[in-house]
Structure 1
Amino acid sequence: MKTQQTNILIFAVPTLLLVAAFFGNLFMEGFNWSFFDFVIAGVLLFGTAFSIRLVVKSQKRFSSKVMICAAILLLLVLIWAELAVGIFGSPFAGS
């Protein structure tokens, strides 16, 4: 796979997730995201995509790349869950 194709694939995922969230916000009753929610989601998703792109372009072994990408994705899930429902009860989530 070429570098440009990899970049398009990496950055297409957050774009599609934000588009799906936008249409969900328009057409679903219980989906109430504000503009600020979209901004935070965009920063989280595109920051994660950029970090993964840096790891994929690095000169490390494949197994190291997979472990680092898994750690980045785990961090994204934990931050997202904390912002969504406050699983840790931190002030970060507004609890």
Structure 2
Amino acid sequence: MILDKEKTAIIFAIPALLIITAFFGNLFLEGWNWSPFDFLIAGILLFVTTFFINLVIRSQKALRSKFMICFVILLVLAMVWIELAV
């Protein structure tokens, strides 16, 4: 069985892996031109989203409510990310 600390570590490892992947993509791919500021903004967005999803997962709400709230959080992340990409 996975402990709460392990769940939290796994949840927060996902955005860290995404940032690391973006870093290596920036190094090795020709069309990928992120500045350090882009990495900072992406990291903030991903870790804040992860923090809120972790709060929802730890709450005492029903599973369906948790799923819907997490979906809304991810939808807001996608909308902000798309807006910043334009």
Indicate the TM-score class for this superposition, using the shorter chain for normalisation: over 0.9
Moved beyond 3 Å, runs of 4+: none
Instruction: In structure 2, give the amino acid aligned to 1:54.
Output: L
User: 1:76 aligned to 2:82?
Assistant: no
Distance in 2 (CA, whole Å) between partners of 1:27 and 1:44 is 23
Q: Which amino acid aligns with 1:6?
A: K
Q: Distance in 2 between matches of 1:27 and 1:41?
A: 19
Q: RCO (CA 8 Å, sep 6+): is it higher in 1 or 2?
A: 2
Partner residue, 2:42: 41
Normalising by structure 2, report the TM-score.
0.95
Q: Runs of 5+ in structure 2 lacking a partner?
A: none
What secondary structure sits across from 1:30 in the alignment?
Answer: coil
Q: Which amino acid aligns with 1:29?
A: E
Q: TM-score, normalised by structure 1?
A: 0.86
Alignment-derived partner of residue 93 in structure 1? none
Percent identical pairs in the alignment equals 58
Task: Tell me the number of residue pairs that the alignment of Structure 1 and Structure 2 aligns.
Answer: 85
| Counterpart residue number, 2:23 | 22
Q: Secondary structure at the match of 2:34?
A: coil
Return the alpha-carbon distance in structure 2 between the equivalents of residues 29 and 73 of structure 1.
29
The amino acid across from 1:58 in the alignment is: S
Cα distance, 1:11 vs. partner? 0.5
* 1:35-79 Cα shifts (integer Å, max 9, x gaps): 000000000000000000100111111111000000000000010
| Structure 2 CA distance for aligned equivalents of residues 48 and 66 of structure 1 | 14
